[in-house]
Amino acid sequence: MVLRSRRLDHRRQQAATARSPVARSSPLNTFTRLLARFAQGVVVVIIASSVAFLLSRMLPGDEFTALLSSPNISAERVEQLRAQFGDNTSWLHQYFVWLGSLLHGDLLWSKSQREPVTQAIARALPHTLQLMGLAFSTSIIGGILLGTWQATRQGSVAERIASGVTFTIFSLPDFWVAMLLQLIFAFSLGWLPFGGKTDFSQNLTVVELIQQQFRYTLLPWASLTLVDVAVFARYQRAAVRDVLGQQFLRTARAKGVPESDITWKHTLRVALLPMITITGMYFPALLVGAILIETVFSWPGVGQLLIKAVEGRDYFLVSSIVVIGSAMTALGSFLADVTREFADPRLRT
Amino acid sequence: MIRNSRSVNASVACRFAAALLSVVVFASCTDTAKPLPDSVRSDALGGTLVIALPRDAKWLYPPKVDQTLDFAIIGSIYDKLADIGDALNTTGDAGFEHRLAESWKWASDSLSIGFKIRADAKFHDGVPVRAEDVRFTFRAYTDTRGQTVNESYLSNIDSVSIPDSLTAVFWFKRRTPQQFFDATYQMFILPSHLLADIPIEELGTDSVTANPVGSGRFRYSGRVPQQSIEMISDTGNYRKRAKVDRVVWAVNANVQGAALSVFSGDADFFEKLQPDDLDKVPKNPDLKIVPYMQAGYSYLGFNLRSPQDHTKPNPLFSDVRVRRALTMAVDRVASARSVLDTFARPAIGPAPRMMFPNPDSLTQIPFDVVHARALLDTAGWILEPGKDVRTKNGVPLAFEIVMPNTSRPRIAYADLLVQQFRGVGAAATSRAIEGQVWYQMMLDHKFDATLGAWNVTPGMRGLPQTWGSRGMTGQNYQTYSRAAFDADVDAALGSMVPATAGRLWNRAFQQIIDDAPSIFLYEERAIGLMQKRVNPARMRADAWYSDLADWTIDANKRLPRDRQSPGAAR
């Protein structure tokens, strides 16, 4: 019986070891895994952008179709222009030209913006980074703080109210929140502008310039942040709740560690790990932006550029923005994986 | 410990709330919409006019411009030799106003016109305007190596010669009533000294035309792509400076954004308020509406060919009795009022009444539901007892109406059409689709009926394209073809005698009304949304911006954006 018990123990130990991440991980394994994820990301980018190129090419109409809105321009002239200035090669040929250029780092020419694609995106990018960077950072911080607070106040009246509010906001589309904020603060109260980035005043002092930027950024920022804080808070609350009941926290309390330290140091450190993954998923928005928010507020970012590119059948610009978006998705996911590898001691040898 | 943790959390929350509140206060404490004191400007000159655009301008190089929005901008920076008058007369030179040309002289055989350029006219870089610029402009507009779009209207001009530096002579291939119109209306005079050395294929995308230099009362001063285009008053202009110091064309994401920017006070004017936003205007004491005529009309076009097989006639609409019956089913007066209130009236035919010599002489198909039902019965479309939809040989009288999704009035009108057609036993449905998709559908003739609209340039030269046999492979989406109509339109366009032309137009219009390939629904007045501080000048039907340089801003209603940087308007 002792022998059977020892065999059982040994088998249990083997099974537990097989499941243990410590045993699975080694520096070589980690590197190999990350390299595989990177390669996977490259493949995803190529596939996603190829699909975007081919789908946009299949849309009816081209850059010359809209000329027919004017009765002064005959259909024959439109055909002449198409023959003279359009790309009359097959869509497959166009795709391989585009793919070849992409692999050489050349995003080609934007017909809707009449400048190189790189230049068009570089012009719109700072506006998107300004808005999304601000929204992203405040949403993460706000979501973590709120979610952690909710988890530690579970069952209280305040927490229930907060949960109700975040659930409601979580359920609302961000463009609807944007329009509601416009209605209240811009249209009804007249406190803030409807959209754009400037009121075209000249000779502004530095303080006035900063104030102007605040006024025009506030509503789009709030539209994004409100919804994203609610999203992040819900994930964070769930993550913190999972950690709160764990053994090591009871040990810490028994040792006399202050409750605030238990919450904000020990619990949060572990509960932040899922947030790393979620943050990675949010990463592409930093560059591609929130298309609907940019439309509601006439924000001149990459999202707006994409809308105009689709309307103008600017295939190269559409595909290039999709390349960037999918690259950011892959990069975000990859960075999240790398960060987790280092942040989670259970994954380190 | 728990109490300490709660106090810490409450303290953090209070500090956070205070920080947030101070941000909001800081952001809103400077209201740039407050007016400046009266001492800033005491005269009517000056100020910054912000005009909201629903999208960015596509071209600032005139030979490539095809959209009204772009014309509004270049029409302020560039000048023509002469401009059309309020009556929009295109026969001869009656009513045309002098611009760069101080005078003109017709040859005795009318096959040439010599224009004398004003000696004091200069481009914005100080270089005088000369006849060579006119000749260069004609070449730039007509050389098909450039991606020009309006050269068909210049096809009757053979060449431009310059006997001296201030005289440009246009030579015509044949006499037509619109010779003078062709030589002046289509072309904005370009600076040859800046553009002549640039390959014609590159004009429009080069760095020089990206910073346009014209001779208009406004000079171009800068552009932020996707955000704004600015121009300032040319204070040394030969026609006197523009009355405002600066015009900013503020780019918005769409029509709604453009309107909202005016409602919020960030812009002074938007050219086309949607009718269902009209009720918001009275709630804002700083706003007013400025209706102005538009040279356009909307119609419901029936596809006369089968959408599935263009070689075959349409089983529903090839019968003129069906088309006339459906026309009779629509109360165009009530429908226009329902959608656009007093800002629209029924259209008279394939051109707005302002361009038609004698609109009251036309006999329209009346609104008569009883007669419509009888006509459908006669055509064999029978309404079985207990049924709602007529049938003929098992085929229901059912069709789809498609329209671009950008026009809210048309979408609303489509709903009214569906209801009224139901009253005579026709089952119509409506669908709004994306603009490019709609255009392609029209070109492919793959539709049953379409709710479209045309803007008509003075002279109605586009009619053969939109309703004539010549346009069957192009913009004549309905494939309407009637030899008598074609002949009358061509004859009217070529007639040198206004009375004869009027008679021919009358006959052509009556023909197409009787044939009813379309229901000519309404012609609308555009509804401009404007801040009360702005005083507009004349807003011509074909070009509301024609006198933009004479718009003023009340001196006692200036805003901080009306401040100018030194040297902005010299």
Name the most confidently modeled range: A101-110, A158-167, B541-550, B556-565: B541-550
Confidence of residue A99 (pLDDT cuts 50, 70, 90): confident
Q: Please report the ipTM that was assigned to this predicted complex.
A: 0.81
Both tokens of A53, joined, read: 């190129």
The reply to whether residue B66 touches residue A73, judged by beta carbons under 8 angstroms, is yes
- Give the pLDDT of residue B281: 93
Place of tokens 């507020």: A297
Give the pLDDT confidence of B305-359 residue by residue, as tens digits. Answer: 999 998 899 999 999 999 999 999 999 999 999 999 899 999 999 999 988 878 8
User: CB of B2 within 8 Å of any CB in chain A?
Assistant: yes
The reply to whether residue A258 touches residue B5, judged by beta carbons under 8 angstroms, is yes
Q: Which of A200, A199, A194 is nearest to A219 (CA)?
A: A194
Both tokens of A136, joined, read: 């992203």
Secondary structure of residue B373 in the 3-state scheme? helix
**Nearest beta carbon to residue A68 from set B463, B475, B560:** B475
Give contacts of B226 with chain A, Cβ < 8 Å. Answer: 123-124, 300, 304-305, 308
- Give the pLDDT of residue A344: 67
- Give the pLDDT of residue B367: 97
Give contacts of B8 with chain A, Cβ < 8 Å. Answer: 260
Cβ atoms of A192 and B27 closer than 8 Å = yes
- Give the pLDDT of residue A203: 80
User: CB of B406 within 8 Å of any CB in chain A?
Assistant: no
- Give the pLDDT of residue A37: 80
Cβ atoms of B303 and B443 closer than 8 Å = no
- Give the pLDDT of residue A26: 62
- Cα–Cα distance measured from residue B60 to residue B70, given in angstroms and rounded to the nearest whole number: 7
Nearest 5°: the CA angle B208, B213, B215 is: 160
- Cα–Cα distance measured from residue B162 to residue B167, given in angstroms and rounded to the nearest whole number: 6
The reply to whether residue B565 touches residue A66, judged by beta carbons under 8 angstroms, is no
Instruction: Give the mean model confidence (pLDDT) for residues B59-82.
Output: 93
Whether B457 shows a pLDDT value over 50: the answer reads: yes
- Give the pLDDT of residue A243: 81
- Give the pLDDT of residue A93: 85
Lowest mean pLDDT among A190-194, B50-54, B216-220: A190-194
Instruction: Give the mean model confidence (pLDDT) for residues A129-147.
Output: 90
User: CB of B446 within 8 Å of any CB in chain A?
Assistant: no
Place of tokens 């390299």: A35
- Give the pLDDT of residue B540: 93
Q: How far is A69 from chain B (nearest CA, A)?
A: 8
- Give the pLDDT of residue A66: 75
Cβ atoms of A120 and A110 closer than 8 Å = yes
Cβ atoms of B509 and B484 closer than 8 Å = no
Q: How far is B166 from chain A (nearest CA, A)?
A: 31
Q: How far is B242 from chain A (nearest CA, A)?
A: 19
Whether B157 shows a pLDDT value over 60: the answer reads: yes
User: CB of B443 within 8 Å of any CB in chain A?
Assistant: yes
Place of tokens 């219009």: B509
- Give the pLDDT of residue B18: 53
Secondary structure of residue B529 in the 3-state scheme? strand
Give contacts of B27 with chain A, Cβ < 8 Å. Answer: 192, 211, 214-215, 218
Give the pLDDT confidence of A205-232 residue by residue, as tens digits. Answer: 899 899 999 999 999 999 999 988 998 8
Name the most confidently modeled range: A239-248, B85-94, B210-219: B210-219
- Give the pLDDT of residue B345: 93
Single-letter amino acid code for the residue at B204: G
H-helix or E-strand spanning residue B328? helix B320-328
Strands B48-53 and B246-251: parallel
Give the pLDDT confidence of A147-191 residue by residue, as tens digits. Answer: 988 888 888 898 889 889 888 988 888 889 999 999 899 888 888
Give contacts of B285 with chain A, Cβ < 8 Å. Answer: none
Q: Which of B97, B111, B115 is nearest to B166 (CA)?
A: B115
- Cα–Cα distance measured from residue A158 to residue A162, given in angstroms and rounded to the nearest whole number: 6
H-helix or E-strand spanning residue B523? strand B518-531
Whether A275 shows a pLDDT value over 70: the answer reads: yes
- Give the pLDDT of residue B110: 93
Confidence of residue A16 (pLDDT cuts 50, 70, 90): very low
Q: Which of A320, A326, A319 is nearest to A53 (CA)?
A: A319
Confidence of residue A255 (pLDDT cuts 50, 70, 90): confident
Lowest mean pLDDT among B43-47, B273-277, B423-427: B43-47
Give contacts of B149 with chain A, Cβ < 8 Å. Answer: 67, 70, 72-73, 77, 81
- Cα–Cα distance measured from residue B372 to residue B379, given in angstroms and rounded to the nearest whole number: 11
User: CB of B153 within 8 Å of any CB in chain A?
Assistant: yes
Confidence of residue B194 (pLDDT cuts 50, 70, 90): very high
Strands B518-531 and B344-346: antiparallel
Instruction: List helix spans (H) across A59-196.
Output: 75-85, 91-103, 117-152, 157-171, 174-181
Give the pLDDT confidence of B484-495 residue by residue, as tens digits. Answer: 999 999 999 999
**Nearest beta carbon to residue A124 from set B8, B28, B226:** B226
H-helix or E-strand spanning residue B48? strand B48-53
Instruction: List helix spans (H) across B379-444.
Output: 408-422, 435-444
Substitution target from B200, B465, B529, B561 for chain A, most A beta carbons within 10 A:
B465
Secondary structure of residue A304 in the 3-state scheme? helix
Question: Higher-confidence residue: A289 or B47?
Answer: B47
Cβ atoms of B222 and B240 closer than 8 Å = no
**Nearest beta carbon to residue A66 from set B225, B263, B435:** B435
Give the pLDDT confidence of B524-539 residue by residue, as tens digits. Answer: 999 999 999 999 999 9
The reply to whether residue B252 touches residue A75, judged by beta carbons under 8 angstroms, is no
Report, in angstroms and rounded to the nearest whole number, the Rg of chain A calculated over CA atoms.
26
Confidence of residue B43 (pLDDT cuts 50, 70, 90): low
- Cα–Cα distance measured from residue A84 to residue B487, given in angstroms and rounded to the nearest whole number: 33
- Give the pLDDT of residue A2: 39
Whether A81 shows a pLDDT value over 90: the answer reads: no
Strands B427-433 and B398-404: parallel
- Give the pLDDT of residue A154: 82
Q: How far is A185 from chain B (nearest CA, A)?
A: 10
Substitution target from B226, B434, B467 for chain A, most A beta carbons within 10 A:
B226
Single-letter amino acid code for the residue at B478: Q
For all residues of chain B together, what is the average pLDDT?
90
Give the DSSP per-residue string, B265-310.
Answer: TS-SEES---GGGGGGGGG-TTEEEEEEE-SEEEEEEEP-B-SS-T
Name the most confidently modeled range: A16-20, A38-42, A301-305, B390-394: B390-394
For all residues of chain A together, what is the average pLDDT?
81
Whether B468 shows a pLDDT value over 50: the answer reads: yes
User: CB of B471 within 8 Å of any CB in chain A?
Assistant: yes
Q: Which of A231, A242, A236 is nearest to A166 (CA)?
A: A231
Give contacts of A72 with chain B, Cβ < 8 Å. Answer: 66, 149-150, 152-153, 457, 461-462
Question: Higher-confidence residue: A88 or B197?
Answer: B197
Cβ atoms of A127 and A299 closer than 8 Å = yes
The reply to whether residue A259 touches residue B254, judged by beta carbons under 8 angstroms, is no
Instruction: Give the mean model confidence (pLDDT) for residues A34-63.
Output: 84
The reply to whether residue B260 touches residue A182, judged by beta carbons under 8 angstroms, is yes
Give the pLDDT confidence of A197-208 residue by residue, as tens digits. Answer: 888 888 888 998
Cβ neighbours for B74, distance < 8 A, ≥ 6 positions apart: B59, B60, B61, B62, B65, B188, B212, B214
- Give the pLDDT of residue A289: 65
- Give the pLDDT of residue B2: 36
Q: Which of B244, B292, B296, B302 is nearest to B448 (CA)?
A: B302
Instruction: Give the mean model confidence (pLDDT) for residues B291-305.
Output: 94
Return the DSSP state at B366: P
